[in-house]
Every structure is written in structure tokens, then in C-alpha cells.
Amino acid sequence: MKSENYIKLEFPSRSVNESFARSAAAAFAAQLDPTLEEVGDIKTAVSEAVTNTIVHGYPDSIGKVTLRARIMGGGRIEIVVKDWGRGIEDVSKAREPLFTTGGEERSGMGFTIMESFMDKLHVRSSPGHGTTVTMVKAIKPKKLGR
């Protein structure tokens, strides 16, 4: 589907960049006039996706992360977070609540959180070649009048 507008950001997988990516996605989504709740949903989902990249994609190194966002027809925003890191052996297993490869301090809820805050979530991964997380959220049109 053709996009109405788009952005593409690239940054190293440093934890300080998670808040930047979250804020950039929210600022880009602002053109759809989302509610504060919708902005919060987008920020939370992007935060989870980028954190997964940092913690799981590049656990022992710094690598490249891209965030692409595009405005699509019908008031929808698509956000794609991609890395070229370790990849996921079993995506179905990784999407199960409480499953984690990140140690005891990780909750294993990243994909579950992304899925609950966005309308669509697609995860594509290949061990040794990285992971691509695609999320879509429809921004509800505002009612005119009182």
C-alpha cells in the first residue's frame, strides 16, 4: 500500500537511543491527531521493540537498528523496527508470554505488550541475520462538533 508520508531513522543499539526512537515515532504519528492514549500506545510498543533489539538482538555488541514509520490511508501508521543481530530461533515460542532469553531480570512480555498496544504485529526473524518487527495502529478519527 502506498504511503502518504514516511520517515526512516538509523541508530546504534545503545539503550540511550530507545527513548529517542519512542519520541520520534510519537512525534511522527502526531500528524494523525492521535489521542494521548494512542500516543502512549505507540510509544510503549516502539519502546518494547527497540529494547528487544538492544537486549536480544545485540546482547554482546553494538549494532545497527532502523526505525521506519509511514502514514497509510485510513489514518493508520505502520512502524517497522529492524536489526541485523542474533535473530530469533523460534518466533512462535518467543511470542509466548513470559518467554525470554534475556535472563531473570527480563519479563518476557515484550511481544505481548506490542501486540496489546497495536492493532497488528508481525515478526520476521532469521537466526544470525536479524529481526524485523512490523506494527500497525489505526488512529480513530475525531468526532466533529460537541
Element (H, E) at 137: strand 130-138
**17: annotated active-site residue:** no
**70: annotated active-site residue:** no
**Hey, how many other C-beta atoms are within 10 angstroms of the C-beta on 138?**
15
Is the C-alpha dihedral spanning 67, 71, 19, 105 positive or negative? negative
Instruction: Identify the active-site residue in 18, 38, 48, 78.
Output: 48
Q: What is the DSSP string of 66-116?
A: EEEEEEEGGGEEEEEEEE-SS--S-HHHHTSTT--SS-TT--S-HHHHHHH
CA-based nearest residue to 25, from 37, 12, 4, 8:
8
**48: annotated active-site residue:** yes
Task: Please say whether the beta carbons of 32 and 71 come within 8 A.
Answer: yes
Instruction: Identify the active-site residue in 38, 52, 68, 76.
Output: 52
Give me the active site residues, please: 48, 52, 106
